[in-house]
Structure 1
Amino acid sequence: MEMLPEYNGEKMGKKPLVKDLIKEKQEELTAAERRLTATLLDDSLIAGLQSITKLAESVGVSTPTVIRLARKLGYDGYPDLQNAIREEVAARMKEPLAKLETARLSGGKDHIVSRFAAAVSHNINRSLDRLDLQEFDKVAAVLSDLDRKLYLLGGRITRSNAHYFFNHLQIIRPGVSLLDFSPSVWPQSLLDMDEKSTLIVFDIRRYEKELERLAKLVVNQGANIVLFTDEWGSPIEKYAAFCFRSMVEVPSSWDSTLAINFLIEALVAEIQSRSRSAERIAALEEMIGESRIFRST
């Protein structure tokens, strides 16, 4: 069997992300350094693009504190940290047209089908490498809890992922709702959310402010959030009880959500194994058989 060519896309995702390094090092940081990292994370690292003096003044720390933080994160100093932040922000905010040009340049003479297959395989394998299986099991348990109401919502690109997950969940269990894409009707659903509710939300670059605002309101209602996002992490992460990051880079002007769908299907299989869905599916089949009056003949 012929081997697929190695995916020749961007390598940035292989480096540790600044936001991940910050989370890993939290216990080693001083109070002043934690205030600094809180500012960086709260603004999706954008604050780290300003000068060291302005950053220190905005947080109320000294410039040596900024330098010490950079070194604790493994960088040579603040300029080195800034370069990492700049790369991370640039990759996160990349325009679709810029992605298309990159794909054309790096594609060579290989066929798009082979290059795309290699990229998708790479994305799934790397997503699995960073998957926390204990967190996966916890999410499966939450989504299997029949006392819990489930709501799903996706963004402009990921609404299809939300709809796909919804179609499976509503067959497996009751109490599942797909939120309308229009923010104007979200308040009605928010009204019914409480501590026994979970919002499953999908948000990949370029992240949607409306979804972030909704996430904050959902948490204020006492509900929790399961987030599916890309390798850089949506701003919704700060509100999410559980988060799955998947790789999305492919040789295309669009990001791929196939690695996300892999996780969805794995969760569907686990949730179904934990439930009495066989009885529900049998009842559904019987209902479909008796509803021929609704079909065209």
Structure 2
Amino acid sequence: MSKAKTSTIAELINGGRDTLTGADRKLAAALMADYPVVGLSSITDFARAADVSTPSVLRFAKKLGFSGYPALQQALRSEVSAQLQNPIEKPEQWSSKAPRTHILNRLADAAMDNLSASLRHVDHHVFDDVCKLMGDPKRHVHVLGGRITSHVAGYLHTHLQMARAGVRLVPGSTSLWPQHLLEITPGDVLAVFDVRRYDARVQDFAASAKQRGAKIVLITDQWMSPISRVAIHSLALRMDVPSGWDSNVVTIFAVEAMVAAVVKQNWKATRERIRELDHYYESGRRGR
């Protein structure tokens, strides 16, 4: 099935969630809770981990579009390899299959493909729930990015802070993270960005925030950061382009869509906040 060849396991599961049986859902939960280890074990061990029968594993693999369990395992191994890919290997991978066109066109085509694929695979209900959490005035929102995504986290923080109160950016210096963790209270939201070559420090922070009662919202790539194990919601976006680094075009789009949704759901309060901010901006320019 061609779809299984172009989509990650997480995308296939999310895309077909409405058709999953009870046994399928148990298998999906077991796989995502211990990705990819459970899926690379024997079919008997996978069935035991999900508390289902062995034939259920075979049906699950076929429902995702694979010819059988070995094909599902091969896809998992390929995903692990893609997650570990470094910036030196990426151009070599693309050069063997990309057309000889200008880099602007190649990047634009890849970015548009990523956006289209992301919109197909993202569950709109999950996206809406994420926006409701981040727009809830009773909750504080903390924003954290990793080595590659810190600027995207800053972009979300800047815009969300203009739309509502109680938004804090986790500082770039990890030496200050323990102090920030102390500021997280039960019910707070941690919006965290983590993409392949995943950042262990960011994962540790998310786990600690979870222990303090925060609701973790993960923005990640199609291979899914390990933070998904502690996240209440995960948005998996496509990022692969013909470059040494992955693209954040779709991530920025998602951030802007989130901010737009938060503004819409709290428009009266946001409008008043923006008016007050504009007043102080003008006062600052006049030197008052």
Fold shared per TM-score above 0.5? yes
Asked if residue 271 in structure 1 is aligned to residue 262 in structure 2, the reply is: yes
Structure 1 unaligned regions, length at least 5: 1-10
- Alignment partner, residue 61 of structure 2: 73
CA apart distance, 1:215? 1.4
Cα distance in 1, alignment partners of residues 190 and 263 from structure 2: 19
**Mapped contact 2:217–2:234 kept (Cα < 8 A):** yes
Structure with the greater alpha carbon radius of gyration: 1
Cα distance in 2, alignment partners of residues 13 and 76 from structure 1: 11
CA apart distance, 1:199? 0.4
CA apart distance, 1:108? 3.0
CA apart distance, 1:274? 2.2
* Match among 229, 233, 239 for residue 242 of structure 1: 233
- Alignment partner, residue 157 of structure 1: 148
The 1:29–1:103 alpha-carbon spacing in structure 2 relative to 1, beyond 3 Å, is: closer
CA apart distance, 1:37? 6.8
Cα distance in 1, alignment partners of residues 260 and 113 from structure 2: 23
Secondary structure of residue in 2 paired with 1:206: coil
Cα distance in 2, alignment partners of residues 133 and 95 from structure 1: 31
The 1:58–1:144 alpha-carbon spacing in structure 2 relative to 1, beyond 3 Å, is: closer
**Mapped contact 2:38–2:45 kept (Cα < 8 A):** no
CA apart distance, 1:251? 0.8
AA matched with 1:14: T
AA matched with 1:272: V
- Alignment partner, residue 8 of structure 1: none
CA apart distance, 1:122? 0.7
Identity of aligned residues (%): 34
Secondary structure of residue in 2 paired with 1:225: strand
The 1:188–1:26 alpha-carbon spacing in structure 2 relative to 1, beyond 3 Å, is: farther
Asked if residue 208 in structure 1 is aligned to residue 169 in structure 2, the reply is: no
Which string of whole-angstrom CA distances, capped at 9 and with x for unpartnered residues, describes residues 160-219 of structure 1? 110000010111111111001233221212112122310000011011111112111111
Asked if residue 223 in structure 1 is aligned to residue 211 in structure 2, the reply is: no
Cα distance in 2, alignment partners of residues 158 and 83 from structure 1: 29
Asked if residue 290 in structure 1 is aligned to residue 283 in structure 2, the reply is: yes
Which string of whole-angstrom CA distances, capped at 9 and with x for unpartnered residues, describes residues 119-158 of structure 1? 1111111111122222222222221111110100001111
Cα distance in 1, alignment partners of residues 118 and 69 from structure 2: 30
Asked if residue 175 in structure 1 is aligned to residue 166 in structure 2, the reply is: yes
Cα distance in 2, alignment partners of residues 261 and 78 from structure 1: 36
CA apart distance, 1:249? 1.0
The 1:49–1:18 alpha-carbon spacing in structure 2 relative to 1, beyond 3 Å, is: same
Structure 2 unaligned regions, length at least 5: none
Secondary structure of residue in 1 paired with 2:97: helix
Equivalent residue pairs, number: 276
CA apart distance, 1:68? 5.6
- Alignment partner, residue 148 of structure 1: 139
The 1:21–1:143 alpha-carbon spacing in structure 2 relative to 1, beyond 3 Å, is: closer
Secondary structure of residue in 2 paired with 1:107: coil
The RMSD of aligned alpha carbons is 3.0
Cα distance in 2, alignment partners of residues 117 and 254 from structure 1: 15
Cα distance in 1, alignment partners of residues 90 and 126 from structure 2: 32
* Match among 23, 26, 38 for residue 28 of structure 1: 23
AA matched with 2:249: L
AA matched with 1:27: G
Cα distance in 2, alignment partners of residues 268 and 37 from structure 1: 30
AA matched with 2:109: A
CA apart distance, 1:13? 6.5
Deviates more, 1:64-73 or 1:168-177: 64-73
TM-score, structure 2 normalization: 0.84
Deviates more, 1:103-112 or 1:202-211: 103-112
Secondary structure of residue in 2 paired with 1:291: helix
**Mapped contact 1:153–1:202 kept (Cα < 8 A):** yes
TM-score, structure 1 normalization: 0.81
Which string of whole-angstrom CA distances, capped at 9 and with x for unpartnered residues, describes residues 74-131 of structure 1? 1444432321211121122212111111222223321110111111111111111122
**Mapped contact 2:61–2:68 kept (Cα < 8 A):** no
